[in-house]
Structure 1
Amino acid sequence: MDDFLTLLVRAHKLLQAASDEAMSRHGVRIGQNLILEALWETDGLTPGEVASRARLPITTPTIVNTATRMEAAGLLTRRRDPKDGRLVRLYLTDRARAAQQPIRESRRQLAEHATATLTDEERAHLRTALLKIIQQLATDQAGPGER
């Protein structure tokens, strides 16, 4: 187990670099695809709603900062909520809508490539193991020795 963290970090870095390259072909930076995923499901969410729906723990301020960059890149627009002017809602542009299928396909291809040497059983075990690690760390925020 000594090399577990080293292997996990190495795999993470390689996957992150490959994902960033795949997303950049569609004019999207890594992480922005998570915001797009939430808005593809339900357009017009507030940054707080996007943060709560993201598949990774992302804070509302991070969503706001990322939305600023995405707006500059022509991926989304921000509009005040007509019922509550204090709220800002995020809306997809035509460019972001058109990128949905190509981005999903790129993500599918990347996952397929990353796990190409694994059997179906190994893929299932990997998924289960990663979910267990995530659950353990998410429910136990205090690290070892901090209890």
Structure 2
Amino acid sequence: MTDLLRLFTRAHKLLQAASDEAMSAHGVRVGQNLVLEVLWAEDGLTPGELAGRLKVSTPTVVNAATRMEAAGLITRRRDDADARLVRLHLTDAGRAAEKPVGAARAALAQRVTAELTPEERAATESALRKIIRTLDPES
């Protein structure tokens, strides 16, 4: 493994653990904040629509939705026009999580980049976008 891949792997693990810790303080697990972010922008999506926006598989969203429903963050309801479809809707608790989760994410981003200059931060974001485009041309 190259040093770059080793560094990416280590950074990913550390960032995931820090993100999980920051989110769990608000009753949200790591990854669920991304589902919530999409639903905050447009409530009532199907799991497939959410999966497409997050670029993950539908079963991944269904599994997250099951846990999020148990935690009281979302509810599942049949679509009024097509009963074959299930739509995911925010609960009051899911809506109320928007500000504290957003603040926790901002604080984590600040913590993670605290030792970077503005130029380094911009270069890191640019490099990560290029890597993502290379690995996922549909991004």
Shorter-chain TM-score: what band? over 0.9
Aligned partner of 1:72 in structure 2 is 70
Could you list the per-position Cα deviations for residues 23-80 of structure 1 after superposition, in whole angstroms to 9, with x for gaps in the alignment? 00000111111110110001111001111122xx211111111111111110000000
CA distance in 2, matches of 1:12, 1:65: 22
Point out 4+ residue stretches in structure 1 off by more than 3 angstroms: none
Tell me how far apart the structure 2 counterparts of residues 112 and 129 of structure 1 sit (CA, whole Å): 18
Which ranges in structure 1 are unaligned for 5 or more consecutive residues? 141-147
Compare CA radii of gyration and give the structure with the larger one: 1
Q: CA RMSD of the aligned region, Å?
A: 1.4
User: Helix, strand or coil: the match of 1:58?
Assistant: coil
Q: Percent identity?
A: 64
| Aligned pairs for 1:1-147 within 5 A | 2-54=2-54, 57-139=55-137
Structure 1 residues 121-142: Cα deviation after superposition (integer angstroms, max 9, x where no partner): 00000000000011111139xx
Where structure 2 has 5 or more consecutive residues not aligned to the other structure, the ranges are none
Amino acid at match of 1:95: A
TM-score by length of 1: 0.91
TM-score scaled by structure 2? Answer: 0.96
